[in-house]
């Protein structure tokens, strides 16, 4: 129970990548973290790209960033929707300013770009957002997963084990 007492919010919208959502969530729960799923509305069901579903525990605006240890943003098509919500950008920017751990995998970097938190950071993600990250001032690194400050990055689905390992380690040990 390496993460007992830690609280992580997971941002959800329709079109999330099923494995990039549920595998990290299960790892966080397995390690004892409290996981809060936040969507545009509370108690709403969201559909992944495959067949899996997620129900929001909270809406974005009700999340108190000061009570969080981390934010998880799964990939898929959802990040392109999430980045359009002002309350998501505000939440992610506030979490970054408070040095909370922010995990982004695959296309999740789109949310980081829109929240204005990636400039100067080493980054990785889907090849499809490489140019977006570079144009936002991030430094592209082609690795399965990496940590730069409070930002934990994962490339794609096959890199979930590396991403989860780095996410759990960073939440457990703090930002270096």
Is 107 a catalytic site residue? Answer: yes
Is 106 a catalytic site residue? Answer: yes
> Whole-angstrom Cα distance, residue 133 to residue 15?
21
The answer for residues whose C-beta is within 8 angstroms of residue 39's C-beta and 6 or more apart is 11, 12, 13, 46, 56, 58, 59, 60
Candidates 51, 96, 107, 164; catalytic one: 107
Residue 148 · residue 119 · CB < 8 Å: no
Q: Determine what percent of the chain falls in helix, strand and coil, rounding each to the nearest 5.
A: 40, 25, 35
Candidates 51, 96, 106, 164; catalytic one: 106
Known catalytic residues are: 106-107
């Amino acid at each position: 129970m390496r993460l007992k007492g830690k609280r992580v919010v997971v941002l959800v919208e329709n079109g999330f990548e099923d494995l990039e959502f549920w595998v990290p969530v299960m790892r966080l729960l397995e390690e004892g973290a409290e996981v809060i799923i936040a969507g545009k509305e509370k108690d709403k069901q969201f559909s992944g790209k495959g067949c899996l579903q997620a129900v929001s525990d909270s809406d974005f605006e009700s999340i108190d960033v000061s009570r969080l240890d981390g934010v998880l943003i799964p990939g898929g098509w959802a990040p392109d929707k999430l980045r359009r919500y002002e309350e998501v950008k505000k939440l992610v920017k506030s979490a970054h300013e408070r040095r909370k751990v922010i995990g982004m995998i695959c296309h999740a970097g789109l949310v980081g770009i829109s929240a204005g938190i990636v400039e100067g950071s080493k980054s990785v993600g889907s090849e499809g957002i490489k140019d977006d990250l570079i144009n936002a001032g991030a430094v592209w690194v082609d690795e399965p997963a990496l940590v730069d400050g409070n930002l934990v990055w994962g490339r794609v689905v096959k890199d979930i084990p590396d991403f989860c390992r780095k996410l759990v380690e960073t939440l457990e040990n703090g930002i270096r």
